[in-house]
Structure 1
């Protein structure tokens, strides 16, 4: 079946044509070039669209590069020139879907940083955003914000497991003068108080040989007398330490791992 206005017709292979489809019916399709450079339409839903980023799995490696599963019959090529390291079969990697400047075909790239926006930053501290973790750096986890911008989660401010390819809701912590963006997994104001209180708890654990006779049921007055913090702040801090597996919580109290 050919789709179009008669001037720019695009082939929709018979296997993708729904039953009872008639001439003039509207149909949502994805268009890409096949191996012979023909424009082909498909009703299959790709895992990525143009200039989107996501986690894909390598299906095979050839002399042209790595081929990734992106939901269509024709696998997505990531040429060697677009790889940060040699990709291997079975590996999962964050890639962007971009046009190849020479062939106009869609390809994948692991060098996602060059396709992000660094100048016109539309965020303010406290804004909620969606992030995709795409690499680890010396400072923390680099993330793609709302599919357009790059931000950073600092290691010492992350109190839950993060892995490459993870999508998380996050908050803008600050936009620096150089337009770099600091991110947090909690609303503004959380980390400053939690960091101070976790340090207090860890210091007290060290002073008392790795054990504190406190838990969620402890009297607020006892918590304050021991740590000089409210019960609410105490619960946030031990929750953060527990998620990092720095402590374990038992019925009789807190133990340092």
Structure 2
């Protein structure tokens, strides 16, 4: 069925007590259950739906849009783990099944994973695959160093943040070069720092060419851009500094010293502000 896993515009053939039957492009019909109808639809009207299979493996149409369509990636939460695989939430009433053989790493309930929606040609069902590396594009010649892109944070390792860039490429942002905490699921704007030989991209949050500061100094700058003034100085208590900035007093003093020398901040008797 060519409509499976895609958003389709289908014509309403007829209505029954169960809902509306929609005409498939190559013949046959698919049911749009009654719960998805507004009540003012008419026969012959075109309606936009997503087609997948229900819990009994029957084709069914819904007006919901899932987290990802066929051959797309999506970040999905594992809802149930079995010995055969995992069921992940992709925004539809029936969870998407990720077979154990298609897992990149062992999934845990409640964890969020990058999953590719694929068609199992043996069963003609949609499945999830978390072996994401198999589908990434490794030719990154189309990217320029310094280029700004949209990226999804899909994993966090000891080394840094793994990013899905423009839905098809993998990037890495090193923790020791990132001045703010990121979470899995964050969508960010990032800049290409380097194209690597393995087809991945090294990324950073700040535009290339901008003067870089130590991580704590970057964090203080970001907070000051929002708050304009911070009631902190070298006589402030360690508790106050930790509560507002989440850093030690020693780290704070080193950071404001760097910013003061660079003439980025002014140090007042009652706090600091941007120059």
The answer, yes or no, to whether TM exceeds 0.5 is yes
CA contact (8 A) 2:178 2:215 kept: no
SS in structure 2 of the partner of residue 144 of structure 1 = strand
SS in structure 2 of the partner of residue 81 of structure 1 = helix
| C-alpha separation in 1, matches of 2:78 and 2:109 | 5
CA contact (8 A) 2:214 2:255 kept: no
Corresponding position of 2:152: 132
TM-score (norm 2): 0.68
Corresponding position of 1:244: none
After superposition, give the CA deviation of every residue in 1:27-77 in whole Å (9 maximum; x if it has no partner).
110011234443221112212222332332222223432111212111111
Residue 82 (structure 2) pairs with residue 69 (structure 1): no
Residue 55 (structure 2) pairs with residue 20 (structure 1): no
| C-alpha separation in 1, matches of 2:50 and 2:212 | 48
Give unpaired runs (5+ residues) of structure 1.
199-204, 236-249
Give unpaired runs (5+ residues) of structure 2.
1-19, 218-233, 235-248
| C-alpha separation in 2, matches of 1:17 and 1:146 | 34
After superposition, give the CA deviation of every residue in 1:172-227 in whole Å (9 maximum; x if it has no partner).
1222355331111111123x6325996xxxxxx9xxx94749959xxx9xx4xxx4
Corresponding position of 1:82: 102
1:171 to 168, 187, 191: 191
Corresponding position of 1:142: 162
CA contact (8 A) 1:46 1:72 kept: yes
| C-alpha separation in 2, matches of 1:138 and 1:83 | 21
Corresponding position of 1:188: 208
Corresponding position of 1:246: none
119-128 or 155-164: bigger deviation = 119-128
Measured on the aligned residues, the alpha-carbon RMSD in Å equals 3.5
| C-alpha separation in 2, matches of 1:163 and 1:170 | 15
Corresponding position of 1:41: 61
Structure 1 or 2: more strand by fraction: 2
